[in-house]
Structure 1
Amino acid sequence: MLLLPTDLYITGGVLAVLATVLLLVVLPPGPARAVFRPLPLLRFSPWPRPRLPLRLLTSAGSAGVLGLALWAGRAGPRDPLANPLPLLVWTLFWIGLVTAQGVLGNHWRWTSPWVAPAAGLRWLLGRAPLRYPRRLGHLPALAGFLGFAAILLADIAPSDPARLAGYAGVYAAITLAGTAAFGTAWLVRGEALTVLMRAYARIALVARDRGRLAIGLPGWRVLRGPQMPLSLALFCVVLLGTGSFDGLNETFWWFARIGINPLEFPGRSAVIGSSLGGLALANVALVAIFAATLRLGLWLARADMTTGAAFRLFAPSLLPIALGYHLAHYLTAALVEAQYALAVLNDPLARGANLLGLGRFYVTTGFFNEQGSVRAIFLTQAGAVVLGHVLAILLAHALALRALGSPRRAVLSQAPLALFMIAYTLFGLWLLASPRGL
């Protein structure tokens, strides 16, 4: 990255976001709303409902894969890059499936490993004995996601197969216990991964719409759906705060703040406290700043809306930024770890198997040594960050138009939030270009 003119790329990205803000100031409300109008693709024909829904079969397959991976975490090789479990959790799910959910559509409906076990529990136990407390909202899912993030960012060995098998096994047990107690309501409101995936599905390109398969600009389903509850809105903001800190805590700047020389890194055990504290501080600060910009915008527009209502309304507009950060941050890891995942599929237990006929598989990182490929990688990362902010600004403006009616009031209400997003664009591009440790 140091050989690239990153200062020029950062300037260009910030100017692109600024130009979007200025365009919305003069754009009539009609085009601002029309840009999120989806295009119908296919109409679904009514089919006889099968006795065993297809999604139960696909979910059972996912549950089976998870069970085998948990066994491999204990019985397989100790090398995280040769064991299926770390590659399943951190590469296939956290990088691949999360990105696909936010970009393409709600595949989690079919790939979730919890749907089939939940149906089995319902068949065995009958109706759930407890009613899920509505006052809890999505707070259990938020706590679960923060726990997931804490393991990712602060655990001394998050990719150790046996250690990860323990975490994943405990999480699976909690999920099944919650489902047995509260039914599918636990999956919808209390299970962190399902809530995460359902949130990102709101900004996917493709989804069902009035009996058709439709495609539209990311965020079109947000405008079609109801306003989300406050706990889910908080979850959306925490997604962005966690993703931002995930990049920040690897920079030389952060190491300077916690008094560690990144060139003599003492190990993850030395930064557990600072990582957990930084994760909490980043999310609290983002929630406070986001709420403050909304409050200021409502005051400028003289809008008769509470800060809580505005928080619920505009929180989904941060999802494109969070997904853009996710893609940008993990792109380089995906390019390398996807090769290891292919090698593991060829020889799952590292015992000389050749299931895919690949023979001896060699992983390459040569594309990090050529300026042309490094430039392409950085521009892809920067493009994901900038595009996420542009989509967020467009979506926030369309939401403001729907809520406030008047274009002038919508622009005034969005002015502080737009400035915040411009500053966040600069922050995100600076993260990409910053020297990193670890």
Structure 2
Amino acid sequence: MRALGLLTLLLVPLATLASAHASEQGFVLLLPTDIYIMAGVATVALTVVVLALLPAKAGHGVFRSLPMTPVPSLGARHVTSLLSTLLLAFLIWRGFTGSGDPLSNPMPLFMWTVWWVGLVSLQGLVGNHWRWTNPWTGIAALLAKATGLRAPFRYPRKLGHWPGVVIFLGFAAFLLTDPAPADPARLAAYAGFYWYTALLGVVLFGPAWLVRGEALTLLMRAYGRMGLWGRARGRLAFGLWGWQVLARPAPALGLAVLMVVLLGTGSFDGLNETFFWLGLLGINPLEFPGRSVVMTQNLVGLVVSNLALLLAFAICLWLGERLAGMRRPLREVFCLYAPSILPIALGYHIAHYLTSFMVDGQYVIKIANDPLGNGMALLGLEDFYVTTGFFNTPGTVKAIWLSQAGAVVIGHVVAILLAHALAMRSGVDTRRALLGQAPLAAFMVAYTFFGLWLLASPRGL
């Protein structure tokens, strides 16, 4: 594995030969893309080759966790959840009463910059903070204690995680197709309605609704399997991204589908902004007429992209089973390998939103300094100005691009390592494991190419 890391360091920096300038959420490289795409794809392909040469236990050993201090059972998570509820209430109030400018109102800045970019990334990179920061468990516990009532209905087991999958697709449709997803009042109305209906689900079905039917909790719990820090046998433990996947049983089918949909949705989030996509729709990207004109096309594209990815993933698994001479049910294999998609989805999520986070994050600091817009400087930043100067110097542009490309490549490398460890955990011998993973590995190498191409493609939105 030391050799693999060294070769990664040697290959990925080849991307530094490319120069770039900033776009809305990514860079448009002015030089041919052959060098950095070749470097990234070669790194991922080399990972496959190295795994074939390493001893059978090496792939699984990479994800061995390091147990640390015992984790006490604290009730403080209900307190922090209540604080999150109060914060959400404040944001909704400011969404309705504050400025109509999305960059001056805390509602859209918190929802799309702090939560969707920052906290989702933190969940996957570090560990499960959602059990402390979600805005439902605290108020649900408070209501249960105050009334003494239990949930009147039992969550139907037949529904599985499918309500959460459907609701997440609705969330993705709002994010990608709504004409004004950052309009403060509009977003506040949607957020308030969603919070209330999710709380209603908890009241009716108990905590089972959060872990089965509430889309944002499913999203966070899925990415929580990727965190460096987690719990193992009552102790705080640390390991390589993905070690918690191996410490848990395979997910149910609905949750496995959601894990793949996270990648499909993230990929289309990048694709629908490119000149390529707008060209397919017959729209001049330099004269973009507005999101309302492409609502239907983007909605269809979102659905088709996810269906195509699910089909491609399933075909790769089916072919792998045939090559390895195994006849396990496709459903079983799909659920086994679906978590290996999470590192790719997380890597692209971070890369795709990095540049917008660097700019909008400054507006978050500005709002935090004066949350009520009355001239107060709570953080003592009277003369704070938002800058985009880091997009104008070659050194910082190069560093930003390498960070984006590195997130994509590292995500794919971890995914291949994780897929190999999952195969070995299922009890097959090394030869069958390698044969069975061959189509999936080819799929991941091809997706590396696609992800880097998306980062480099010019954008029209």
- The two structures have a TM-score, normalised by structure 2, of 0.92
Cα distance in 2 between the residues matched to 1:39 and 1:55: 24
Matched, 1:151 2:174: yes
Matched, 1:10 2:32: no
Deviation at 1:122, TM superposition (A): 2.0
Amino acid of the structure 2 residue aligned with 1:39: L
Aligned to 1:36: 63
Change (3 A) 1:397 1:316: same
Aligned to 1:240: 263
Aligned to 1:314: 337
Deviation at 1:4, TM superposition (A): 5.3
Amino acid of the structure 2 residue aligned with 1:38: S
Matched, 1:334 2:357: yes
Of stretches 390-399 and 2-11 in structure 1, the one that deviates more from structure 2 is: 2-11
Instruction: Tell me if the contact between 1:154 and 1:268 (Cα under 8 Å) persists in the aligned partners.
Output: yes
Cα distance in 2 between the residues matched to 1:62 and 1:378: 34
Matched, 1:323 2:346: yes
Amino acid of the structure 1 residue aligned with 2:143: L
Instruction: Tell me if the contact between 1:156 and 1:272 (Cα under 8 Å) persists in the aligned partners.
Output: yes
Deviation at 1:372, TM superposition (A): 1.4
Aligned to 1:26: 53
Matched, 1:275 2:298: yes
Aligned partner of residue 42 in structure 1, secondary structure: strand
Residue from 407, 418, 423 that aligns with 2:441: 418
Aligned to 2:24: none
Aligned partner of residue 373 in structure 2, secondary structure: coil
> What is the correspondence of 1:329-408 to structure 2 with a 5 Å cutoff?
329-408=352-431
Cα distance in 2 between the residues matched to 1:7 and 1:351: 52
Of stretches 243-252 and 4-13 in structure 1, the one that deviates more from structure 2 is: 4-13
Aligned to 1:262: 285
Aligned partner of residue 335 in structure 1, secondary structure: helix
Residue from 83, 107, 113 that aligns with 1:85: 107
Alignment deviations for residues 141-164 of structure 1 (CA, whole Å, 9 cap, x no partner): 111111111111110000000000
Cα distance in 2 between the residues matched to 1:55 and 1:333: 31
Alignment deviations for residues 179-231 of structure 1 (CA, whole Å, 9 cap, x no partner): 11101111111111111111001111111111221111111111111111000
Aligned to 1:58: 80
Alignment deviations for residues 40-79 of structure 1 (CA, whole Å, 9 cap, x no partner): 23234x5xx67xx111111111100000000000011111
Q: Which runs of 4+ in 1 moved over 6 A?
A: none
Aligned to 1:180: 203
Matched residues, number: 433
Deviation at 1:125, TM superposition (A): 5.6
Amino acid of the structure 1 residue aligned with 2:121: T
RMSD: 1.2
Cα distance in 1 between the residues matched to 2:445 and 2:402: 18
Deviation at 1:281, TM superposition (A): 0.5
Alignment deviations for residues 159-181 of structure 1 (CA, whole Å, 9 cap, x no partner): 00000011101101110111111
Aligned to 2:138: 116
Aligned partner of residue 208 in structure 1, secondary structure: strand
Instruction: Tell me if the contact between 1:82 and 1:348 (Cα under 8 Å) persists in the aligned partners.
Output: no
Alignment deviations for residues 314-373 of structure 1 (CA, whole Å, 9 cap, x no partner): 000000000000000000011001100000011113222211110132100111111211
- The two structures have a TM-score, normalised by structure 1, of 0.97
Aligned to 2:4: none
Instruction: Tell me if the contact between 1:73 and 1:161 (Cα under 8 Å) persists in the aligned partners.
Output: yes
Aligned partner of residue 69 in structure 2, secondary structure: strand
Aligned partner of residue 213 in structure 1, secondary structure: strand
Aligned partner of residue 67 in structure 2, secondary structure: strand
- What stretches of structure 1 of length at least 5 have no aligned partner? none
Cα distance in 2 between the residues matched to 1:349 and 1:368: 30
Residue from 306, 320, 325 that aligns with 1:297: 320
**Identity fraction in percent:** 59
Cα distance in 2 between the residues matched to 1:23 and 1:180: 51
- What stretches of structure 2 of length at least 5 have no aligned partner? 1-19, 21-28
Residue from 203, 213, 216 that aligns with 1:193: 216
Instruction: Tell me if the contact between 1:83 and 1:349 (Cα under 8 Å) persists in the aligned partners.
Output: no
Aligned to 1:210: 233
Aligned to 1:76: 98
Aligned partner of residue 357 in structure 1, secondary structure: coil
Deviation at 1:27, TM superposition (A): 1.4
Aligned partner of residue 360 in structure 1, secondary structure: coil
Cα distance in 1 between the residues matched to 2:81 and 2:370: 24
Aligned to 1:103: 125
Matched, 1:252 2:275: yes
Of stretches 20-29 and 348-357 in structure 1, the one that deviates more from structure 2 is: 348-357
Instruction: Tell me if the contact between 1:300 and 1:413 (Cα under 8 Å) persists in the aligned partners.
Output: yes
